[in-house]
Structure 1
């Protein structure tokens, strides 16, 4: 193998292109604004560039200059339009490794570009099938964690599988991506209502929410408030608006199904029953942890860490909530998992997101936000809707407080 070219031999344009590609990939793999900007600034400094990044959920502005030239002589600005990113822990970790190797001089810019390009290979049929299966497993597991009856669990799981198929279709048909959430919610609600009318009563709203669990924007809501508290006001506001729009689309699809059922005289039987023994909850937690490891596209060697983080977040919040109240349990879980993610990044020199992101996924308020909208629309009762939406606010506040104090408890040495 040939030795990499030293950074001192790399041209100004080549260094800029590397930072731009790095920024685009970190954005695509779900990095929040404050962490992306911090990582890009650190890498640019190592490459002897002055960089002023500005990131939002749908694009970036990157301004570069060469500190060795007179001010204004080498200024370069790039405006980049990007789709919202999605969590991809494997590609995030690989991109972080490549950037570390470049900065340490173990890898030249041309070799780094080649390795990054290799990450863009299209998903295999097996990985697509695993994603669809993970949607079904996540829905089944959440219904199990809630100790719903077996029929409710089966309906949620079947809905989750078919929603996973919808997601795969939307990736091949971009026109279907925009109404995806509304169509998926309408489908899940329709199947649930038909089963409740002709087979047996169901926990209607809970089954619908469990079916849609992976589409709920709880992580986006949490990231939005976290960005706002970090003074990234534009990015946080835009992300919050996007998350709210997703909840609205899910609520619209569900309400359309409810109105259609009412118009045709469908008499869906609703019950409130959670008869399962405790072991079902623990088994479902293991399945949910595995499903989220697949959905976050973690490297197989990281599955045990991702699953342990997801299960730990839920268990800490559950037992902490029993001892000190639900908000305190969520705060404690977020604090400990954030500190654990920072410790992992500090001592293993890998992205803390591998621990942090799955650790808080079971805490995010996506299901509570959708339940609040459904309660408001179904009951036409402002007080009932306000109570549900206030619960969302309490979860968000506890979660963001845990993230902030977790970073204070053990500061991160690395932005990712």
Structure 2
């Protein structure tokens, strides 16, 4: 292999790594995928991926003669549709459908903003997500309606803030302040609703529950730098959201005092069989939010229903920790089986299944109870319980990967 070919191949690997990071893939999966890609391209590569930096190190034969590239990057959101496309290109190269030059051309022709769904469909998905989440924690229909309506405004603000470097670092604070103001005003106007729950539900797309689980999982797998960085970033995001909501509700409560006790008598209630339909709607909305192809929606829905049903049954019979462990184990084995059967990234199904399990909202409720001394759902939520739930999820995922490993790196 001559020097020009070597440089071209390493440049391509770096471009793939940065694109996978922009898709929201976890650090271990990115590093494993790039090592597999290097093996296909017959170069040696070592990688260190963190939420804010990416180090690429390449060599041909002599490890002392290395080509090093260091990139400063920003934490990213999830675009599982693009991740699937990138993985499919590498699969086509591995099966000799494309040569290296054709793969490079196809990869660089990809549109970073490509989406299977329009903005208005994504806005609807945010609303459905908030309504579904609120419905899982309340029986009052007005809570769901208020959360869904406010979430549409939150989506609009998120779209505006995402295009501004000045606003992006504080977008969590802005949207939670606006959500808090809107919910408090509605409460003052006489709408029967649980204001703290409505605020939480309207910003649920920003709650870093999955990020916290991924961070602990990476720490457990000894990716200490990346895992610790993600853990701190997720905790800071959670604090931004809570402080913003506290400011929004607090300011309006001073100007327009809220009414006293929260009463449900005489208001329209949700039916008792609400739970499973809401999980279905929640899963389908996540399919749009993560830009997953409609063709894979059934797989994602199956992962969500399996994980939620298992966790719900086990929690009622064995305790919350055991329920989360078994739910994560089922989702992990199902997603790895999906990857082995379809030759697609396990992350697509795994992310969907975990979302309905991760207790990010529990961490938010702990902050609320610590600061205000109140419990928004009328039950005690302790940090010990939330932390134990996170650890149970991580252990379930680790055992699932050990018992039924995925042949796919992503």
TM-score (norm 1): 0.91
Q: Match of 1:362?
A: 356
- Alignment check: 8 A CA contact 1:373 1:385 kept: no
- Alpha carbons of structure 1 residues 411 and 197: separation in structure 2 relative to 1, 3 Å: same
Deviating more after overlay: 270-279 vs 98-107: 270-279
- Alpha carbons of structure 1 residues 34 and 199: separation in structure 2 relative to 1, 3 Å: same
1:176 & 1:182 partners in 2: Cα distance? 10
- Alignment check: 8 A CA contact 1:204 1:270 kept: no
Deviating more after overlay: 38-47 vs 119-128: 119-128
Are 2:21 and 1:27 aligned? yes
Are 2:143 and 1:152 aligned? yes
Q: Match of 2:399?
A: 405
Deviating more after overlay: 236-245 vs 187-196: 187-196
- Alpha carbons of structure 1 residues 369 and 25: separation in structure 2 relative to 1, 3 Å: same
Deviating more after overlay: 257-266 vs 328-337: 257-266
1:129 & 1:266 partners in 2: Cα distance? 35
Say which SS state the counterpart of residue 51 (structure 1) adopts.
Answer: strand
Q: Match of 2:34?
A: 40
1:272 & 1:135 partners in 2: Cα distance? 27
Q: Match of 1:396?
A: 390
Deviating more after overlay: 177-186 vs 236-245: 177-186
Q: Match of 1:248?
A: 239
Listed one character per residue, the Cα deviations across residues 209-258 of structure 1 (whole Å, up to 9, x for unaligned) are 11111110001100100010011111011000100010010011011123
Tell me the CA shift for residue 124 of structure 1.
Answer: 7.0
1:69-84 map, 5 Å: 70-73=62-65, 75-84=66-75
Q: Which runs of 5+ in 1 are unaligned?
A: 1-6
Q: Match of 2:307?
A: 313
Number of matched pairs: 405
Tell me the CA shift for residue 321 of structure 1.
Answer: 1.2
Listed one character per residue, the Cα deviations across residues 261-287 of structure 1 (whole Å, up to 9, x for unaligned) are 232242244427594222322322221
- Alignment check: 8 A CA contact 2:53 2:72 kept: yes
Q: Match of 1:237?
A: 228
- Alignment check: 8 A CA contact 2:303 2:335 kept: no
Are 2:280 and 1:289 aligned? no
2:45 & 2:263 partners in 1: Cα distance? 56
Are 2:374 and 1:374 aligned? no
Q: Match of 2:199?
A: 208
**Structure 1 vs Structure 2 CA RMSD:** 2.4
Say which SS state the counterpart of residue 408 (structure 2) adopts.
Answer: coil
Listed one character per residue, the Cα deviations across residues 5-42 of structure 1 (whole Å, up to 9, x for unaligned) are xx999810111011111111111111111111111112
1:108-147 map, 5 Å: 108-123=99-114, 127-147=118-138
- Alignment check: 8 A CA contact 1:203 1:272 kept: no
Say which SS state the counterpart of residue 71 (structure 2) adopts.
Answer: strand
TM-score (norm 2): 0.93
Match of 1:323 among 294, 301, 317: 317
- Alignment check: 8 A CA contact 1:345 1:351 kept: yes
